[in-house]
Amino acid sequence: MTTRVPVVEKILSANDRIAEENHARIESAGVFSINIMAAPGAGKTSLIEQTLPRLKGKLRVAVVDGDIATSIDADRAAKAGAQAAIQINTGGDCHLDAIMLRSALEQLDLTQFDLLIVENVGNLVCPASFKLGTHKSVLVASIPEGDDKPYKYPGMYRGVDALVINKIDLLPYIPFKMDYFERGVQVLNPGVLTFPLSCRTGEGLDVWIEWLTQHATHKK
């Protein structure tokens, strides 16, 4: 039992080194990259599906989807307009790691893209611990999940660069206290960039698209 912490630290250290290599590869290609994380059902794939058509003619997008099994999410991304969509099946792991992303990057000519979207496995614990090498980490929260998630999963909220609050069209129907939720977020991640939106109605998506476009075009 005394070896557990050193072993975990060794694993994370090795992952971080490969994440740095991934970042260098992405950076050298002039590609802007994001790692999208969320609980199952929060709307990661729906956000990607709504994002891709709005970027058509503006940005060339590659999507890497992580899931325990199936190629459902990659198929949905391809159908929505991704120029390339690669599925990573983790075989039971509750997160992507840098080695998995490296294997996907080896299948892509990154110079042919402007934006790389990585969709992590649906989980609010494990993905926060494993860097991938992307430029930004984005957490998708959703109204039906409840307003207590920042308090229950501080590690996830503390480490992200941007927060998407999805399904705001459900606010009139679900007892979700936005002020309580936002207080929890601000304690953990003061000033974090936040995008309230609805993938169903399209409300708020324009601001999200503008953010992606600005970052991706700046890389070029």
| Res. 9 pLDDT band, cuts 50 70 90 | low
Torsion of CA 18, 60, 41, 129, to 10 degrees: 20
Work out how many domains the chain is built from and give that number.
1
Q: Residues 169-193, buried b or exposed e (16+ Cβ, 10 A)?
A: beeeeeebeeeebbebbeebbeebe
Per-chain mean pLDDT for the chain: 94
Q: Find the domain containing 32 and state its range.
A: 4-219
| Res. 211 pLDDT band, cuts 50 70 90 | very high
Write the burial class of residue 197 (CB in 10 Å: 0-12 exposed, 13-18 middle, 19+ buried): buried
| 73 pLDDT more than 70 | yes
| 209 pLDDT more than 60 | yes
Supply the CATH number for residue 20's domain. 3.40.50.300
Percent of the chain with pLDDT over 90: 87
Q: CA geometry: angle at 28 spanning 217 and 138, to 5°?
A: 60
- Give the pLDDT confidence score for residue 183 in this predicted structure: 98
State phi, psi for 159 to the nearest 5 degrees: -100, 10
| 64 pLDDT more than 70 | yes
pTM here is: 0.93
Place of tokens 């080194």: 17
- Give the pLDDT confidence score for residue 2 in this predicted structure: 45
pLDDT tens figures, 153-194:
999 999 899 999 999 999 999 999 999 999 999 999 999 999
Count of alpha carbons within 13 angstroms of residue 172, beta-carbon side: 1
Ordered DSSP codes for the chain: -TTHHHHHHHHHHHHHHHHHHHHHHHHHTT-EEEEEEE-TTSSHHHHHHHHHHHHTTT--EEEEEEESS-SHHHHHHHHHT-SEEEEEE-TT-SS--HHHHHHHHTT--GGG-SEEEEE--S-SSGGGG-----SEEEEEEEGGG-TTHHHH-HHHHHT-SEEEEE-GGGTTTS---HHHHHHHHHHHSTT-EEEE--TTT-TTHHHHHHHHHHHHHHH-
